[in-house]
Amino acid sequence: MGMTSKLIHKYNIAGPRYTSYPTVPYWEADTFSALAWQDNVQTSFTESNAHEGLSIYIHLPFCESLCTFCGCNKRITKRHEVEEPYINYVLKEWALYCELFEGKPHIKELHLGGGTPTFFSPENLQTLITGILEKSTLASQYEFSFEGHPNNTTREHLQTLYDLGFRRVSFGVQDYNLRVQMAIHRIQPFENVQTVTNTAREVGYTSVGHDIIFGLPFQTVAHVQETIEKTKLLQPDRIAFYSYAHVPWIKGNGQRGFHDSDLPTATVKRQQYELGKQLLSEMGYHEIGMDHFALSTDSLYQAMQRQTLHRNFMGYTASKTQMMIGLGVSAISDSWYGFAQNVKDLSSYYQLLDENEIPVYRGHILTQEDVVVRTHILNLMCHFETSWQDDALCFDELPDVLIKLQEMETDGLIAIHSKAIQVTEKGQPFVRNVCMAFDRRLQRQQPKTQLFSMTV
């Protein structure tokens, strides 16, 4: 076993992806209430709206067919009459939030995710965005983005959203090999991706992203190489290159289009990642945090250079806002001091909004320690370093964390200084493991069953 293989074997354990801290399984439901959440939102809005604005994530859950690799909340239907009622309810939810705000919200960032946002007609998407903007003002240098499906994103979709201020779009590629595509139930030829990528650029989008996944069923190292070589022909501005999170115990049969034995081993997955990373580097892409790569002309790379990179439930983002409001079924909001998730089924979502209730059903109000630990984890995930020069970033169990990290230092994954730690280049693929040492809730209460995907 080579050195890298030994490290993979040692550190490939189940762990969170840290799009939040505390992670969802550790939220304290008993101290959370819709009323506490609303107070939280008002505080955060007052603190941050004027100088940095807020982010909005809108979850559009419908898909015409099920992709078996997907871990998102979705509704499979071919009935497009579901679009209009859903949009009306999302706008009603936004109106309820606007009633809580002291003044008009300044929107810094808006993202449409799913599901398949391009399931919705261009006209209905226009109704949705216009309705959101009617109650808002735009912050300077705002960024609007959406996720498009290469098979159903039309020029009209791209043009309509461009005219509303969208300049960034990402397309799910996953892998170009037909056998892999059949296993994950996501068949889309290279030509479809080429067409939407070129059309987006013709319309005027300044950032076109592709999502590529490694560790998929039947996927070999050669498949990853072939997918990235095809990607090179299109030169997307940014690439999300991430590990398939195999969590069928959470998602039920949605992740059962294949057998566990069809998945690559941890060693093959790491080979896929290493090769992909090397090819992307040779193509001029810079690695951003974890799983993301961008050309030097893209705003994500520039944010990393300026140390303004941020991470939230949308993944990495170029602009930090203290508050993110999630609209739509299952969407998660983040006020910095708390998280709240909307109900996951449509009928409950509609019913609560009919009763003029913000449709949250669970969440977590952060303790002072949570906020401090969250800051460290965010620093590590975004900048591969964190420091406690400022006494406010010290916490009681910090010495225990440093003891826990000593072995990683011995393995050359991190450097520990008197009041800071840095993740080395060798350690960057293991940044989730470094964060786990800081994760006080995980350390105090190890899960009895597997909650998270493997870190490698």
The annotation status of 57 as a binding-site residue, yes or no, is yes
Helices and strands per DSSP (H, E), number in the chain: 16, 19
**Terminus-to-terminus CA distance in the chain, angstroms?**
16
SS3 state at 146: strand
Q: How many residues does the chain have?
A: 456
**Cα-to-chain-centroid distance, residue 106:** 22
The annotation status of 63 as a binding-site residue, yes or no, is yes
The annotation status of 245 as a binding-site residue, yes or no, is yes
Q: What is the pTM of this model?
A: 0.92
Contact 454, 433 (CB under 8 A): no
Q: What is the DSSP letter of 372?
A: H
Q: What is the mean pLDDT of residues 87-116?
A: 96
What are the φ/ψ torsions at residue 183 (nearest 5 degrees)?
-65, -35
Q: What is the mean pLDDT of residues 282-295?
A: 92
pLDDT exceeds cutoff 70 at 392: yes
C-alpha span between 6 and 332 (Å, rounded): 37
Residue 405's nearest CA partner among 442, 434, 376 is 434
The annotation status of 358 as a binding-site residue, yes or no, is no
SS3 state at 76: strand
Q: What is the DSSP letter of 29?
A: G
The annotation status of 332 as a binding-site residue, yes or no, is yes
201, two tokens:
């650029």
- Of 257-261, 288-292, 449-453, the range with the highest mean pLDDT is 288-292
C-alpha span between 67 and 75 (Å, rounded): 11
On average, the pLDDT of the chain sits at: 91
Pair type for strands 207-214 and 332-334: unpaired
C-alpha span between 355 and 359 (Å, rounded): 10
Query: Per mean pLDDT, which range of 56-60, 303-307, 415-419 is the poorest?
Result: 303-307
The annotation status of 311 as a binding-site residue, yes or no, is no
Q: What is the mean pLDDT of residues 179-187?
A: 88
Residue 402's nearest CA partner among 378, 419, 389 is 419
205, two tokens:
């989008």
Ordered structural domains, the chain, with CATH: 1-22+367-456 (1.10.10.920), 27-365 (3.80.30.20)
Q: What is the DSSP letter of 212?
A: E
Query: Per mean pLDDT, which range of 12-16, 135-139, 261-265, 390-394 is the poorest?
Result: 12-16
Q: What confidence tier does 71 reach under pLDDT thresholds 50, 70, 90?
A: low
C-alpha span between 125 and 231 (Å, rounded): 28
The annotation status of 67 as a binding-site residue, yes or no, is yes
Query: Per mean pLDDT, which range of 179-183, 195-199, 388-392, 448-452 is the poorest?
Result: 448-452
Query: Per mean pLDDT, which range of 165-169, 262-266, 357-361, 395-399 is the poorest?
Result: 262-266
pLDDT score, position 70? 65
C-alpha span between 231 and 234 (Å, rounded): 5
SS3 state at 166: strand
pLDDT score, position 77? 76
The annotation status of 71 as a binding-site residue, yes or no, is yes
280, two tokens:
């992307």
pLDDT exceeds cutoff 60 at 23: yes
Q: What confidence tier does 251 reach under pLDDT thresholds 50, 70, 90?
A: very low
Query: Per mean pLDDT, which range of 46-55, 248-257, 281-290, 396-405 is the poorest?
Result: 248-257
pLDDT score, position 86? 96
pLDDT score, position 84? 96
- In Å, the largest CA–CA distance within the chain is 61
pLDDT exceeds cutoff 90 at 89: yes
Contact 364, 72 (CB under 8 A): no
Share of the chain above pLDDT 90, in %: 73
The annotation status of 72 as a binding-site residue, yes or no, is no
234, two tokens:
């299109």
267, two tokens:
């060693």
What amino acid is encoded at 210 in this protein?
Answer: H
Pair type for strands 324-327 and 54-60: parallel
> Helical H runs in 118-264?
122-134, 155-163, 178-183, 190-203, 221-234, 248-251
Q: What is the mean pLDDT of residues 388-407?
A: 95
